[in-house]
Amino acid sequence: MSIIPSNITPLHIITAVIVITLSGLVVSDNFDPNIARKNLSPTPTPSLVLCYVEEAEREFSVRNEDECNKLKESFAATNKLSITPSQNQQVQAKRNIQPTTAQETDPVIKCNGQNNCSGKFLMVPKSQCVSGEITCCQVNGTWSLMKKDQCATSNNAEKVAITLPHNGQRYYCVKGIDDDMYNDSQIIKNLRDKYDANITRYDTYAVNNCYTAYDDLNQACWDYVNGSKEDAKNILLDAADKNEKILNKNIEKFCN
């Protein structure tokens, strides 16, 4: 026996369903999103702290200290794995480097004698040999290679008379060093002679070229002459004066 009345057709049933559905849509049209938003409980945002990781050379935002420590451990482990065996060898090699010794920077060499000490040699640091600190000195009639200071202080070192070119004065200097003294003096004389020659040349140029009726040309000419003289003084005369100071100290040490 059917529970649906005989006067209710399928069309009535479909129509009823449509009406109910439309009623629901009408209700949903009255939905207020602002009211619904007020009724929602917001999820609290956890507080963050900054964590500086040295291996990464930057800061990260983490929730707590434990997360920070784990992050640091993770980067440290990654860095260890990224170092290749060849890099380990390079690090070890740097640790094994020994400091440079004086023997390496200034090695002992065979310093050969000349003139009266030809065929003789002395084992000394290279710096002493190339700087001229080693000389051929006559002591008790015998020629030997030694330091200039040693030769000068020897009680039996023979001395010879020499006249130095730069000042024309006569000295008695340790034999073997007298040649060096003479050569140094000659260098000073040559520098001063060259300076004098340049000054004479510029003076002659001024006489021939700088006396003109035009003031502007006259001034330019004299600027050239005076500038050239100043250059000659700075280059030649100053060098001669510096060398003479050194020579005077050696005269005090090796001559009388």
The dihedral through the CA atoms of 77, 82, 85, 90 has a sign that is negative
Instruction: Note the pLDDT of residue 46.
Output: 57
Instruction: Note the pLDDT of residue 208.
Output: 86
Question: Does 177 score more than 70 pLDDT?
Answer: yes
Cut 0.85: pTM above it? no
What angle do helix axes 178-209 and 238-254 make, rounded to 10 degrees?
160
pLDDT digits (tens, 9 = 90+) for 181-202: 899 999 999 999 999 999 999 9
User: What is 202-248 written as a DSSP string?
Assistant: HHHHHHHHS--S-HHHHHHHHHHHHHHHHHHIIIIIHHHHHHHHHHH
Question: Does 44 score more than 60 pLDDT?
Answer: no
Span 15-44, average pLDDT: 45
Alpha-helical segments (H) within 40-111 = 65-82, 85-96, 102-105
Average per-residue pLDDT for the chain = 75
At residue 145 the predicted structure's pLDDT band, cuts being 50, 70 and 90, is confident
User: In one letter, which amino acid is 73?
Assistant: E
Instruction: Note the pLDDT of residue 49.
Output: 77
Question: Does 29 score more than 50 pLDDT?
Answer: no
Residues 160/142, Cβ–Cβ less than 8 Å: no
Tokens of 21: 């559905």
Over pLDDT 90: what percentage of the chain?
19
Span 225-241, average pLDDT: 91
Higher pLDDT, 98 or 57: 57
pLDDT digits (tens, 9 = 90+) for 80-112: 544 455 555 555 555 555 655 555 688 999 899
Question: Does 5 score more than 70 pLDDT?
Answer: no
Span 111-123, average pLDDT: 87
At residue 179 the predicted structure's pLDDT band, cuts being 50, 70 and 90, is confident
Instruction: Note the pLDDT of residue 169.
Output: 92
**Residue (of 124, 250, 86) closest to 184 by Cα position:** 250
